[in-house]
């Protein structure tokens, strides 16, 4: 079960570029489908996913579940509750556009 500062992801490694391709709104959280431009070897895809989150939302996160799986749970480390709510609201806006 997710806590308030976690986001569920399903990654597609070895893609041409990093991008969010689908967003699913769950009860109080979201599940993202993300293309990652790195191969799934030697932790490269995981590191690229973390770099991507830092780039698009200016947050540091860590993978807490799914290190060797396409399905992952990311823990948002440095986001306080207010910043995390801004992130969730930006995800809601992306859902409305799609």
Q: How high is the pLDDT of residue 85?
A: 72
Distance CA 77, CA 14 (A): 26
Q: What ranges in 9-80 are assigned the alpha helix state H?
A: 44-57
Q: Which two tokens stand for residue 43?
A: 């932790």
Higher-confidence residue of 40 and 80: namely 40
CATH topology of domain 6-97: Conserved Hypothetical Protein Mth637; Chain: A; (3.30.1200)
Whether pTM > 0.75 for this model: the answer is yes
> What is the domain partition of the chain in residue ranges?
6-97
Tell me what pLDDT residue 1 has: 44
33: how many CB neighbours lie within 10 A of its CB? 15
Question: What is the arithmetic mean of pLDDT over 88-98?
Answer: 72
Q: What is the pLDDT, as a whole number, of residue 67? A: 95
* Pure H helices in the chain: 44-57, 81-97
Kindly report, residue by residue over 64-81, the tens digit of the pLDDT. Answer: 999 999 999 998 876 656
Nearest to 18 by CA among 7, 9, 27: 9
Q: What's the rounded mean pLDDT across residues 5-28?
A: 88
Q: Environment class of residue 89 by beta-carbon count within 10 Å: exposed (0-12), middle (13-18) or buried (19+)?
A: exposed
């Amino acid at each position: 079960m997710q806590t308030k500062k976690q986001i569920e992801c399903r990654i597609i490694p070895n893609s041409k570029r990093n991008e969010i391709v689908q967003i699913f709104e769950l009860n109080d959280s979201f599940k993202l489908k993300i293309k990652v431009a790195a191969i799934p070897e030697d932790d490269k895809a995981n590191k690229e996913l973390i770099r991507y989150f830092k780039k698009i939302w200016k947050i540091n996160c860590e993978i807490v579940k799914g290190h060797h799986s396409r399905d992952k749970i990311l823990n948002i480390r440095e986001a306080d509750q207010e910043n995390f709510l801004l992130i969730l609201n930006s995800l809601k806006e992306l859902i409305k556009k799609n």
